[in-house]
Amino acid sequence: MTDTNQAENPGNTPPADDKLALAWTHTARFLTTASQLDQLPPTELPEIAFVGRSNAGKSTAINTLTQQKRLAFASKTPGRTQHINLFELGPKLAPDALFADLPGYGYAAVARDAKVRWQKVMADYLEIRRSLAGVVLMVDPRLGFTDLDRQLLEFVSPRVGNGSVKLLVLLTKSDKLNRREADKAVATAQEVLGEMTTEEADVAVSLFSALNKKGVGDAACVLYDWVRNAA
Ligand SMILES: Nc1nc2c(ncn2[C@@H]2O[C@H](COP(=O)(O)OP(=O)(O)OP(=O)(O)O)[C@@H](O)[C@H]2O)c(=O)[nH]1
Ligand SMILES: [Mg+2]
């Protein structure tokens, strides 16, 4: 597993620099929205899914990474993202990747059967979306890994374990942590992920803040490398 600050690059291309990677993420534009899995367009493009607890900061992270104010809808009200929103990246005539903003799970006010339903959608998405190239799991380190985060990791672990899906865990809202808390959050995350790390697995952890932009360039580089190495 890598801490992106000292990331090695096992692929054949040298690591991307921030500027190039951020220019690429900036090309993101809205493609489509789906309320059901069978409405997702078939695609050959490598897809990167942003997943995590409701309110963890998924939509905000997409806006920050793409340097666009309102590409994905972010909100103070948890549960804002109800559909799967797809964004296309790369040259307009030759798109090279998709970002998927997924609805958050585990918000307390959501009824139990809605939660169960969502778990099923999530599991099915991760199972059937063969074009899935990477998962960005957003975890608020002040809340830690929840049961649903761990379940999600279990759903993806076969594909992460064999290297067909890459995983980046972003510890969000890191602007709210002091240095000691931030170090501890990274260590805890590495421990949780250690369980699913194999020879083939490409798993990284990074602190992230949309507010002070910590980890934004690093995260963009990781995603850019995934897509370049998938091509
Ligand atoms: N301090 C701080 N607040 C953040 C950061 N990122 C997101 N937030 C706030 O967290 C709240 C939730 O952000 P969203 O991006 O809407 O969260 P989400 O994960 O998309 O939530 P759902 O769509 O409900 O699943 C908003 O009030 C954001 O302003 C961050 O890096 N720092
Ligand atoms: Mg959202």
Total domains in the chain come to 1
Q: Is the CB of 176 under 6 A from ligand 1?
A: yes
Residues in the chain: 231
Q: Which helix (H) or strand (E) holds 25?
A: helix 18-25
Which residues share a beta bridge with 34?
A: 84
Pairing of strands 84-89, 97-101: antiparallel
- Read off the CATH number of the domain in which 172 is found: 3.40.50.300
> What pLDDT does residue 1 have?
64
pTM, full prediction: 0.91
Query: What would the two tokens of residue 93 be?
Result: 């005539």
For residue range 205-230, list pLDDT tens digits in order: 999 999 999 999 999 999 999 999 87
CA of 104 from ligand 1 middle (Å) equals: 11
Q: Could you give the 3-state DSSP secondary structure of residue 222? A: helix
The pLDDT of residue 37 is above 80: yes
* Tally of helices (H runs) and strands (E runs) in the chain: 6, 8
CA of 81 from ligand 1 middle (Å) equals: 11
Mutate which of 55, 62, 107, 110 to test ligand 1's pocket (most atoms within 8 Å of Cβ)? 55
Which domain does 136 fall in, by range?
Answer: 2-230
Range from 121-130, 171-180, 191-200 that averages highest in pLDDT:
171-180
